[in-house]
Structure 1
Amino acid sequence: MGLFSFLRGNRSENNDYKKATYEKGPFMITCPFCFKKFKTDQVVFRASHFENGDPEYEKTVDELLNEYNKKVGKGVLGEINPIIVPKDLPEKNKTRVDGVLIEIKDKYDMSTSERLCPFCHNELPITSGRGPSKIISVVGASQAGKSVYMTTLLYTLEKYSCGRINASLIAGSSLYNDEIRENQEKIFEKNIMLDPTPKQHVEPLIENMKFRDDKIAPITFIFYDIPGEGMTDKDYIERHGDHIKNSDGIIFLVDPLQMRTLRKKVSLMNREMKGDFTEKYQEPKDIIVYLFENFISKQSKEKTNIPTAIVVTKSDMLRNLNDEEYINENSNIFRNYDHSEFFNLNEFENIDGEVRKFLSKADASFKGAMDTYFGVTGYFAVSSLGCNPQNLKIDSGNSINPLRVDEPFLWLLYQMNYLDGGRQ
């Protein structure tokens, strides 16, 4: 059985896959901005030049792009280079790779590879159409650590986890690469925490996963990390939250300090305030309310079957509970585990069971709501840093050691039938 399997059909009851079959491209494209789906030959291109006096090639206002920009609160643009529709060109002017149209020459024999969504005119990832695209939404309340988690997740996947499953992960463009590298340098080299994500329009973060087995098409992962303040703002979610209902997977981060029963129990090394933290933190269930209002309530039976990883963050702090009613100090959540070659179902079920039990005691109403409104769930505990930052800085005496941060993502790969499951 291949490590990564594009399969038709469901898993059998004994958790084994049916015989693997590989999907063939070209693949339908999902726009990472407006989320419309279309065939590869429906893409349009932005001309690399303009020609005064030629109505087809003069600079013009792009109404579709400006309509999208207005919707998400971005500034509108003035006149820019025109749109070229490939179907108006002869076949000899078109360049295809793996059956996918990636570049054209216009009637002036000028090349352009700036492919755009035909519905919103945003530029598409370079790999669109050559493999499947999967949207992953990272949600959670303010201060749950979403940006730090995403930074350490990508760091861990790139340096360690992907190699164990015979794959590689790289940024979707040099722009994304610069942003990721800057954040990783802050944390892993300068020991500085990231600033909170500002409450404004959030651009997706695009990553490409390529496998050593060339029979398997590469996957384009489109990550959305929505700011916590936006998660409980109805207007903000309506304008910027379309990716959630269009997700192929959700990572739902929960900070232990969001749970009222734990705030006075957890001893924080970087505590700057005394007493209850009630006013400082949103409740995890608040996020479910807004997710329910904006998309779950519109699903069949008021339930979503988007695979959702519920992730308790800052798990290193749980060692300080000194209360085995919640978590045993010898729990496996405090030890890293490498899922090599396949996703170990025994290890997952162990962690899943422990975290479910923990949440049932620490925040039963949240756990109950998750079980009611989310049909496919896995429970995890991670520590993005492995230690507590103090005054937005990481003590140089502490080594940064991300703990189990890749496990929720690998579980999503398993749920999407890209990673085999097995038992040891």
Structure 2
Amino acid sequence: MGFLKIFSESRKKQNKYYIKATYEKGPFMIKCPFCFKKFKTDQVVFRASHSEKGDPEYEKTIDEVLNEYNKKIGKGLLGEINPVVRAESLPESNKTRVDKVLIEIKDKYDISTNERLCPHCHNELPITSGRGPSKIISVVGASQAGKSVYMTTLLYVLERYTSERIDASMIAGSSTYNDEIRENQERIFDRNIMPDPTPKQHMEPLIENFKFKDDKIPPITLIFYDVPGEGMTDKGYIEKHGEHIKNSDGIIFLVDPLQMRALRKKINIANREFKGDFTEKYQESKDIIVYLFENFISKQSRERTPIPTAVVITKSDMLKNLNDEEYISKNSNIFKNYNHRKFFNLNEFENIDGEVRKFLARVDSAFKGAMDTYFKTTGYFAVSSLGCNPHNLQIDSSTSINPVRVDEPFLWLLYCMNYLDGGRE
């Protein structure tokens, strides 16, 4: 029985005004965030924290498995590094487990290491792997759709505000990820500078730990992949780097209003006062669906993907000035922030979802038609990552940065994954 059937049948049995989440329960398999293979927690291997000359098992060596993975994705090959240690060769007394998950060993030299590796690709695993489920979320969209800015503000809002409202907490998966996230957030929120676009060769995930205060709910390892726009329409690039998309548990598909031919000229004229950068040459959102179809949707049953997909209109602040009620009302709820508290408000979602669906049917019916045809489960949203339009990569210092509804697509995905209650007011 597929995910959607289980999901819909289990939820039909619940109160129509409040839908209780029925999250996964352990033991949990580990899903590698790099090669996406699944394995049991005791199958992890470890990187020794030292090397020993004269001992063939513990001398520095070239890790052929890791280099094979790096070669596949176009990363540089590594020289000699500390050896890999397999836990099964050690006595049980040398193994440390937490929540029944092997997290550390002492090697035959009685020296500890907690650097756990995927047995298939030898990349280092997140600290929480195996203690709860891992969920991969791919953020896709055409070039200039605002993926990097959206990811930066999404994590900012989730960490500081949203998590507390739903009785949870979210922190970076490691100090390395924390430094990268913090640097981008300081650029936007402290220095009013836009982050640099995601370089085409960059395909490292951002890993976050998400935990509810209720200890009965297992922690979730969130693995975000931000796909460079230029890479989305490059067949060779997607073949090399796009494996995570078909292995996603959720997709956030960002759509820039300027990618809609019917709106581009109107938005340029309406927003002239902001002196923003409105480029004439834009990829079409439907182009992205073509590449997704070619690379994985066409290989799935009935040529439809069951992966829940949030379709997100970005830069919604631009739409305020269209002065055309045919497209969107100035009083539309998409321009008003809303805080989901304790549960995902289904009434609020359905209002926004319906409004954005109607909007897209008017301005880009071909794109909406393709979404309806090739994606089984979709939710439609509109967000503004900044609440204003930057100029030459600078945000006007006199303008307060006010993200609008950026967390809603993520919360909907949590609801679809059955980790967040749904309710109606």
Query: TM class by shorter-chain length?
Result: over 0.9
User: d(CA) in 2 for partners of 1:315 and 1:9?
Assistant: 35
User: d(CA) in 2 for partners of 1:8 and 1:29?
Assistant: 26
**Match of 2:307, as an amino acid?**
I
Compared CA separation, residues 18 and 317, structure 1 to 2 (3 A): closer
Structure 2 partner of 1:364: 365
Q: Secondary structure at the match of 2:349?
A: helix
Residues 84-106 of structure 1: per-residue CA shift (max 9 Å, x gap) = 01001000000000000000000
Q: What is the RMSD computed on CA atoms of the aligned residues? A: 1.7
Structure 2 partner of 1:330: 331
TM superposition shift of 1:273: 7.0
The question of 1:244 aligning with 2:249 is answered no
**Match of 1:284, as an amino acid?**
S
The question of 1:340 aligning with 2:319 is answered no
Structure 1 partner of 2:68: 67
Instruction: Give percent identity, aligned residues only.
Output: 79
Moved more, 129-138 or 25-34: 25-34
Compared CA separation, residues 169 and 388, structure 1 to 2 (3 A): same
Structure 1 partner of 2:196: 195
Residue segments in structure 1 that go unaligned for 5+ positions in a row = 1-5
1:43-82 matched pairs, under 5 angstroms: 43-82=44-83
**Match of 1:36, as an amino acid?**
K
Residues 313-350 of structure 1: per-residue CA shift (max 9 Å, x gap) = 00000011111111011000000011001101000000
Compared CA separation, residues 196 and 81, structure 1 to 2 (3 A): same
Structure 2 partner of 1:378: 379
The question of 1:147 aligning with 2:113 is answered no
Moved over 2 A (4+): 6-10, 13-26, 267-274
1:3-82 matched pairs, under 5 angstroms: 10-12=10-12, 23-82=24-83
Compared CA separation, residues 302 and 8, structure 1 to 2 (3 A): closer
TM superposition shift of 1:179: 0.6
User: d(CA) in 1 for partners of 2:158 and 2:21?
Assistant: 24
Structure 1 partner of 2:138: 137
User: d(CA) in 1 for partners of 2:172 and 2:277?
Assistant: 39
TM superposition shift of 1:53: 1.1
With structure 2 as the length reference, what TM-score do the two structures score? 0.95
TM superposition shift of 1:10: 3.0
Compared CA separation, residues 33 and 327, structure 1 to 2 (3 A): same
Q: Secondary structure at the match of 2:10?
A: coil
Structure 2 partner of 1:290: 291
Task: Work out whether residues 72 and 201 of structure 1, in 8 Å CA contact, stay in contact via their aligned partners in 2.
Answer: no
**Match of 1:244, as an amino acid?**
I
User: d(CA) in 2 for partners of 1:247 and 1:226?
Assistant: 13
Q: Secondary structure at the match of 1:409?
A: helix
**Match of 2:355, as an amino acid?**
E
The question of 1:310 aligning with 2:311 is answered yes
Task: Work out whether residues 96 and 103 of structure 2, in 8 Å CA contact, stay in contact via their aligned partners in 1.
Answer: yes
Structure 2 partner of 1:3: none
The question of 1:300 aligning with 2:301 is answered yes
Task: Work out whether residues 208 and 223 of structure 2, in 8 Å CA contact, stay in contact via their aligned partners in 1.
Answer: yes
Structure 1 partner of 2:184: 183
Task: Work out whether residues 172 and 206 of structure 1, in 8 Å CA contact, stay in contact via their aligned partners in 2.
Answer: yes
The question of 1:414 aligning with 2:415 is answered yes
Q: Secondary structure at the match of 1:210?
A: strand
User: d(CA) in 1 for partners of 2:247 and 2:384?
Assistant: 28
User: d(CA) in 1 for partners of 2:377 and 2:65?
Assistant: 36
Q: Secondary structure at the match of 2:366?
A: helix
TM superposition shift of 1:59: 1.1
Compared CA separation, residues 93 and 273, structure 1 to 2 (3 A): closer
1:389-404 matched pairs, under 5 angstroms: 389-404=390-405
Structure 2 partner of 1:100: 101
User: d(CA) in 2 for partners of 1:367 and 1:21?
Assistant: 31
TM superposition shift of 1:26: 3.3
Aligned residues: 416
The question of 1:111 aligning with 2:112 is answered yes
**Match of 2:189, as an amino acid?**
F
User: d(CA) in 1 for partners of 2:23 and 2:418?
Assistant: 11
**Match of 1:372, as an amino acid?**
T
User: d(CA) in 1 for partners of 2:37 and 2:410?
Assistant: 24
Task: Work out whether residues 8 and 21 of structure 1, in 8 Å CA contact, stay in contact via their aligned partners in 2.
Answer: no
TM superposition shift of 1:16: 6.4
User: d(CA) in 2 for partners of 1:271 and 1:286?
Assistant: 28
Residues 101-141 of structure 1: per-residue CA shift (max 9 Å, x gap) = 00000000010000000000000000000011000000000
User: d(CA) in 2 for partners of 1:419 and 1:127?
Assistant: 20
TM superposition shift of 1:24: 3.8
Task: Work out whether residues 382 and 403 of structure 1, in 8 Å CA contact, stay in contact via their aligned partners in 2.
Answer: yes
The question of 1:260 aligning with 2:286 is answered no
Residues 374-404 of structure 1: per-residue CA shift (max 9 Å, x gap) = 0000000000000111111111111100000
**Match of 1:71, as an amino acid?**
K
Task: Work out whether residues 28 and 37 of structure 1, in 8 Å CA contact, stay in contact via their aligned partners in 2.
Answer: yes
Moved more, 164-173 or 17-26: 17-26
Compared CA separation, residues 23 and 412, structure 1 to 2 (3 A): closer
User: d(CA) in 2 for partners of 1:7 and 1:262?
Assistant: 37
